Structure 1
């Protein structure tokens, strides 16, 4: 199960993985949330019952009390930096259609080839639409081959609506998880 929290201004992204307790409830530690309106998503595929094998996403809005300070969405860009890494997106996704998209990871201008598997894949790409917080969770089609991922990760991107999407790419190197964020304009 994947659980996501994203504030209405597309800041404060959290992606955690609850575990099921003996009583059938799911539990996870969520970091503190800043004041404001948040959208919570859970993504899962039941392994029994009427929904067996069907990928499902449930969501709801939660308000955290206090004075909300909104952050403007950064302008659309094809690259972002995090922890000394540069993540560059190539491709032109079109709303409602599957389009190829490639993400390249470099460090100090050199290709990164030591991406480690993170939850059975080299990256998780989570996207939220600017106006309605529509949600997409993508995995690269790149086959996992030990700690030798990168520098390019291929995705089949299907984003349902046009406009600005905030992308969060999570990848792992040296046992550390990195989360790069950028805004992508979808036609």
Structure 2
């Protein structure tokens, strides 16, 4: 996929600030909140960004780009742009799993503690265990021990949750502090990415916001 970011003057934007070690974050997710992808496009000299997506299942797909201009009127402002696209073919909608506080991936269990409230910044804690034992070897990923994004059921609205736990080498965990601000109530699909042993894991759970 190839795209350029155009500024208020109609010209392509070429200067971008680094946010969590990257100049642009790109997300893709189906309308049923499956098929999540989080990648980092590269920019060509003519200001065209290229992102290589994995195979996409047929159906409606929301694509989201987040970035901070490095100069001009929008300097240091976090922008989020999105659009919906259709992937041809016959697709099957997968029902959203029920709300829960735990998720499992690759033998790891992640437990979310805290009560998020719509429109309010609330602290959450994510505890990571494996085989019932606390995990203490989380490695930095994008300047944090976890990267958390969320998508709202029904309209696929996007939110980025910010870890506040200070990074100190390759021994993060078992508890991670999160600053969660989700704008609307309802069910959100929370995607939690973390790294151990050089491998990136992505856990998902449905979080109900009051």
Above 0.5 in TM-score? yes
Equivalent in the alignment of 1:161: 184
Measure how far apart 1:131 and its partner are: 1.5
Give the counterpart of 1:170 among 193, 200, 210. Answer: 193
Equivalent in the alignment of 1:8: 31
1:76-117 deviations in whole A, cap 9, x for unaligned? 010010000000000000000000101011000111111000
Q: Cα RMSD over matched residues?
A: 0.7
Secondary structure class of the residue paired with 2:187:
strand
* Dislocated runs of 4+, deviation >2 Å: none
Measure how far apart 1:137 and its partner are: 1.1
Where in structure 2 are there 5+ consecutive unaligned residues? 1-23
Equivalent in the alignment of 1:51: 74
**1: CA distance, partners of 2:110 / 2:86:** 32
Equivalent in the alignment of 1:37: 60
Measure how far apart 1:61 and its partner are: 0.2
Equivalent in the alignment of 2:87: 64
Equivalent in the alignment of 1:81: 104
Equivalent in the alignment of 2:9: none
Aligned length: 187
1:104-163 deviations in whole A, cap 9, x for unaligned? 110001111110001111111010000111111123100000101111111110000000
Bigger Rg, which one: 2
**2: CA distance, partners of 1:143 / 1:78:** 23
Q: TM-score, normalised by structure 2?
A: 0.88
**1: CA distance, partners of 2:159 / 2:126:** 16
**1: CA distance, partners of 2:40 / 2:132:** 33
Equivalent in the alignment of 1:138: 161
Measure how far apart 1:23 and its partner are: 1.5
Q: TM-score, normalised by structure 1?
A: 0.98
Measure how far apart 1:28 and its partner are: 1.9
Measure how far apart 1:164 and its partner are: 0.3
Secondary structure class of the residue paired with 1:180:
strand
Equivalent in the alignment of 2:49: 26
**1: CA distance, partners of 2:103 / 2:137:** 19
In the alignment, structure 1 residue 185 sits paired with structure 2 residue 208: yes
